[in-house]
Amino acid sequence: MPKRILLVRHNAGPYDDRVTNFCALNGFAADIRAPFRGEKLGGVTDDLAGMVVYGGPYNADAADTTPFLNEEYRMIGAVMDAGLPLLGLCQGAQMIAYHLGAFAGAPDHGLHEFGYYEVEPTGADPDFLPGPLHFTQWHFHTFDIPKEAIHLARSAAFENQAFRVGKNVYGLQFHPEQTVEGFRRWQNIDPASYTRPGVQTRDRQTALMHEHDAAQAMWFYSFLGQLFVA
């Protein structure tokens, strides 16, 4: 039986992102669950290699109005207690931070990041991100760095772009899992997104996508290999 990576999703797909591709290429079963549809996450079992909590439209601090998030928080805690790899992407990163007692929500400046934005390392861990790199983004919420975490990366508008807790728990505000095809779908979801402060024009997004997507993909597949295989 192959080891499985639990993939916690907040949308209806398609599920053709780079984490799913990584699972297929490295012999892991992609165990996709969607608590927003009432699906349960189970528990920590011997075949569980780790968990990825994806982005989505839900607020990390709103489990009272979106109670399925409590199921996700339960499993976040269980995976951390078991010492297994855990990766949060965008909303997922905000949830890990919030679970650890840090703020997660909209910053006062009101800016959005939607497109491809340069993220630079803080220098706290040169092995995480050796130098500045453009990453896919779509968010306007952020997180504070949890007290027990290391601050790994920032962008011009959002100081907190990545953190690590211990050796194998990561929160990334950006979306390196997103492919070109997936980002094209994002561009067509909500035309009003382009009116919001900080958002790149569609033409600018597309130009940056073609310029930087290959480097983003190379970095992310290497990162996933270190997190789940090494």
**Of residues 52, 65, 129, 31, the one with CA closest to residue 95:** 52
Residue-wise pLDDT tens digits, 4-52: 999 999 999 899 999 999 999 999 999 999 999 999 999 999 999 999 9
Calpha distance 165→97 (Å, rounded): 10
Residue 115 · residue 137 · CB < 8 Å: yes
The residues near 32 (Cβ < 8 Å, ≥ 6 apart) are 7, 9, 15, 20
30 DSSP β-pair partners: 5
| pTM higher than 0.75 | yes
Mean pLDDT for the chain? 97
Q: SS3 for 229?
A: coil
Q: What is the pLDDT of residue 230?
A: 73
Calpha distance 211→120 (Å, rounded): 17
The residues near 175 (Cβ < 8 Å, ≥ 6 apart) are 55, 89, 90, 135, 136, 137, 138
Site of tokens 């491809």? 116
pLDDT band at 1 (very low <50, low <70, confident <90, very high): confident
Domains of the chain: 4-228 (3.40.50.880)
Residue type, 34: A
Mean pLDDT of the region 121-135: 97
Residue-wise pLDDT tens digits, 189-207: 999 999 999 999 999 999 9
Residue environment code for 16-53, b if the CB has 16+ CB neighbours within 10 A, otherwise e: ebbbbbbbeebebbbbbbbbbeeeebeebeeebbbbbb
